[in-house]
Structure 1
Amino acid sequence: MKRILIDCDPGIDDALAITLAHGSSQVEIIGITTVGGNVSLAKTTENALRLREFLGFPEVPVVPGSAGALLRPRIDAAEVHGDSGLGQVRLPAPTLPPADGHAVDFIIDTLASAPGEISLVAIGPLTNVALAVRKEPRIVDWAREFVILGGSYTRGNYSPAAEFNIVADPEAAAIVFAAGWTVTMIGLDVSRTALATTAVVDRMRQMGRLGADLLVPCAEFYGMVTADDGPAIHDACAIAYLIDPTLIEIQQAVVEVETAGRFTSGMTVVDFHLRDRAPNALVGTAIDTRRFWDLMLGAYERIAATMA
């Protein structure tokens, strides 16, 4: 079983991604670190704590990290995720506190404890990971693999050029891509095709308390659900890749992050034509959506079967 450390900013799609990881028999969550992103750090941490107890893995530490970007004013996506970050979802208040310490140190210590064995996945802004790389550069060798949900080689969603997780802290993203490891970048080119259609949401409705209290409110808050269209479930694509890499087509590339452009700040500049350069990234280009949803819904059904 693959052990994973999730750095996140819950967030509706973060919640669905964490639920996928918990429901999978192929991965084990060994820690969750939080960052300010979709909503404030206080709210992303609160949401992670609520999810941990609702889903039933209270032994997994939740460690708060960076509240905002390295150099820029904080931006958020509350207009997409709602003021709480979880739309209309109303989970019980947590009874357990976050772990002591800071996410940056937790990332370093966790990877150092088992070099080459733990996969790091970041599904929010990359501030915590950038600070960890700067504080302890050896984590790039200690991580079994490093996967992000972020960026794009065709378009943005926060701006025409930039995806939210990258533009929320472009300087941090630039540090991460230049750190000397291979970044597996699952971006909008993949995730915007993972749509929660009517057929998907109807299966969620059959999942008892899990479906009624979490899955369906998450899916329906994002946007209109129809037979052929629906909201994209972005962050879960990165977790799905960790579970089954064959779901997503991958291509080597050199990726750099634009930090100075007037119209392109936060853009991931992806060059698939390597020439004499070594790639620093594996970039997702397509996903098998049928198999993706089979994986997602199967994991959700396993959790639903255990919930009263």
Structure 2
Amino acid sequence: MPRPAGPPFDGNTADIVICSSDDVAFKLHRVILCIASEFFKDMLSLPQPSTDETGSSADLLEFDGLPSVRVSEQSDVLERLFRLCYPVDDPPLQTMGEVRSTLEAAMKYQMAEAIKITKRRLLALARNDPLRVYAVACCFNLEEEASAAAKEVLKQKAHEDYVDELEDISIGAYHRLLSYCERRGRVRDQYKFTIHRTSGRGTSVTSTPTLDAVALDTPDAPLEPRAALHPFNDSEAEITLVTADGVEFRVFKKILQLSSPVLYSTAKELLASDRTTVHVAEPSRILDILLRLCYPVLEPDIEDLHDISITVAGETRRRLLTRLLT
């Protein structure tokens, strides 16, 4: 037998009961539920099961003589959710667990005001837990909140940390965060962090634009330049490659030219010009790997899967070097 919830969800004027998965009965008012929730508005507009000749129905659940609906959420989640709908004090929503579970329930039951309040509270937690907020926002396809959290992750350099919520997001969402941080946030407006699902025949995933398509070629504000390590700090090298994170690699044009015959014509034009500095899209870590593959030095150890995917997947070394010279 369900036990009654505490006030204000135990009033005599209630006309429907929502029962939690841990058997707590919330006495509620249809009019408030229908205003607050499109889900309950549609559900409660359906015809109710009819009773038989004895006045009873096996399909009709009741609590204290009121029709009862059982849901999958626990009572602590429902209490917070219903307080966001009723004209009472809002719950504090102090922890990430409280915010996430309440937001999930609010989105499930299509409660617009409750969603608005919990999203605002989620953003407020970004200052202390930016990576967790980013992961939760991606779970619910909340692009605005994910973008704000990503900025805080970059600011706090938290992208190399680990939180349990990362287990719940796709590798794509995590990769986009890492790429954003590598470019120090210099991406165009169309760069998105979440994956949006569209309905049709089945469910399809529309991918976000690639980093190359939305990365800014030049920074909004000049980055303080830093010199690369040996052998890319030679003062006699003719050309300087400046990476997305502001590291200057001094390299010899001849080595870049000889790294691929396909580059000969491009290199020839570059040699004939007065151009000595080229800004490239890659971060310094990736450019260092690429150049060491071309220079007569020990090849770099590449153990990080993220580095391998950026350096190799989708592009050969020739194409990457072509981008450096064009």
Q: TM-score normalized by structure 2? A: 0.23
Structure showing the higher strand proportion among its residues = 1
Structure-1-length-normalised TM-score: 0.24
Larger C-alpha radius of gyration, 1 or 2? 2
